[in-house]
A and B are shown apart, each in its own frame.
Chain A
Amino acid sequence: MTTNNKPRVLYVDDEQNNLNSFRANFRREFTVFTALSGTEGLAILEKEFIEIIIADQRMPEMTGVEFFEKVVDVYPEGIRILLTGYADIEAVINAINKGQIYKFIAKPWKEEEIRVAVNNAKEVFDARRELKVKNESLQKAYDELDRFVYSVSHDLRSPLVSIKGVIYLANQEVKDEKALEYFGMANDMVEKLDEFIHNIIDYYKSTHDGNVASSLNIEKTLKEIKEEYRFHPHMENTTFTYEIHGGDTFTTNEVKFRIILNNLISNAMKYKNPDKVHHYVTVNVTKETDGVFVSVQDNGIGISENSQEKVFQMFYRDAKGNSGSGLGLYLVKEAVRRLNGTIELISNLGDGTTMKLWIPNFVSDGTQG
């Protein structure tokens, strides 16, 4: 790599005189390499680090454009300038359209014109190179984040799940009431931490998994969620039902749609009203041509009017106990926003909560994250 940052220029021309005068003119400003033919030029490109390639169009054996066609294959980064003394417009237009040349200069070339063109080309070369380096480091950071999230999802969760397993066994084998009470408390905290891990991963997924749209089977998704709750402690005295009207599939971003359903259903399950014998959670999905209406309804503790606007804020927790991570509804709101949908909360303290959503069909247009 150069230390003085002079443009490194390869000039290819079949006339030795042109090469000599080029060298004489620019050897102070540029690091100059010359070649008498395209073949010779390609040989130099193999050995030397070149930034800018200038070639004459009219050469026997291989024209300038033909030479550049070969250069593009082996060394696309080099900035290519074509010199042309004849009316080779056809060839030039062709080359420009194929993106093979950066600039063309009429022959006989003037010193100043070459100087300006080379210096501009050098700036383009450096900018592209810098962009490439930045892209690579961004990709690296992205990969590291990926590994980090993976590590959170596995290395952090795996011991937590072992603790759950031990508490589960203790609950079956231990008879001491005080001990059981302590195990219960430990379990609550473990559940809370686990929920937090799920939320962190959801958050990461919703911001990084991009905006892929796919056809989602609503029935299958809800069935899977129901399956996940089959043995869950939340299912005690609880009925979970769902109804789907108007069709089974709709186009959406699956990651975000799942985050919405998972969090709303999990909340509806969790916040039971202790005064009621039976708890129910009902999900209703109605498909329209341009999207779906979703409602998630429960007869749980409800949300006080005072808290209703705050529950969607990041890290806000409704005062009762310490069951939530403060992330769930924030994630829901963000996912709804990115899907261009709306969400409405209807709740009376003590009666239960209904979340009503409209999620339009999702079209990935490359701008939404």
Chain B
Amino acid sequence: MELKDKIGVVLIDDSMIDRMIVKRNMELYNNSLRYTAYEGAQEALLALKKGALSVDSEYTVVLLDIYMPEMSGFQFIDEVEKLESSITERLIVFMLSSSIDERDRQAVENRQSIVKLLNKPLTREILDEVFEYCRQRLSVAEE
């Protein structure tokens, strides 16, 4: 069983350039994972409710920006936590932010549903860490 058969990756970030950075990093990483980007949390939430956040993925890794207009990353999590466990247990959420605000770090630590806070910019090493976490959590052997 390979990771790509299990998970899809979703980015939620309002910054065009940051979406480009993550997309290109994913391409360079070349593990043929499904990848979808959303410009806003609202839109992503709608897709999630319809079961279409990441099509055909058993589990979805969500890379979530914190500061976004209309709905912030934390507000998104608030909404997600209201959903049925059949939906939420298939999400693996990481915050991906440039914030160095202590309060954000604390807020992430206090949320059971967020794995950890990743510092922008995204790099190969950070993706290594994310996928290693997924492998362990989903008991998928190293490829």
Contact = CB atoms under 8 A, between A and B. Distances in A.
Interface string B92-114: 00000011111000000000000
Interface centre among B98, B101, B102, B124 (most CB of A within 10 A): B98
A162 B101 contact: no
B98 A154 contact: yes
B123 A154 contact: no
Contact of B122 (A157, A158, A165): A165
B32 interface: no
B67 A168 contact: no
Contacts, number: 56
B98 A231 contact: no
Interface in B102-143: 102, 119-126
A interface residue count range (under 10 / 10 to 19 / 20 to 34 / 35 or more): 20 to 34
A175 B124 CA distance: 18
Contact of A153 (B100, B119, B126): B100
Interface stretch (B1-9, B14-22, B50-58, B81-89): B14-22
B121 A168 contact: yes
A331 B120 CA distance: 25
B18 A169 contact: no
Interface in A137-154: 150, 153-154
Contact of A165 (B99, B120, B125): B120
Given A153-B99, A165-B120, A165-B122, A173 B15 contact: no
6 contacts: A154-B67, A161-B119, A161-B121, A165-B18, A166-B21, A172-B28
Interface of A: 150, 153-154, 157-158, 160-162, 164-166, 168-169, 172-173, 197-198, 201, 205, 230-231
Closest 8 CB pairs of A and B: A165-B121, A165-B21, A161-B98, A231-B125, A161-B120, A158-B98, A162-B17, A164-B121
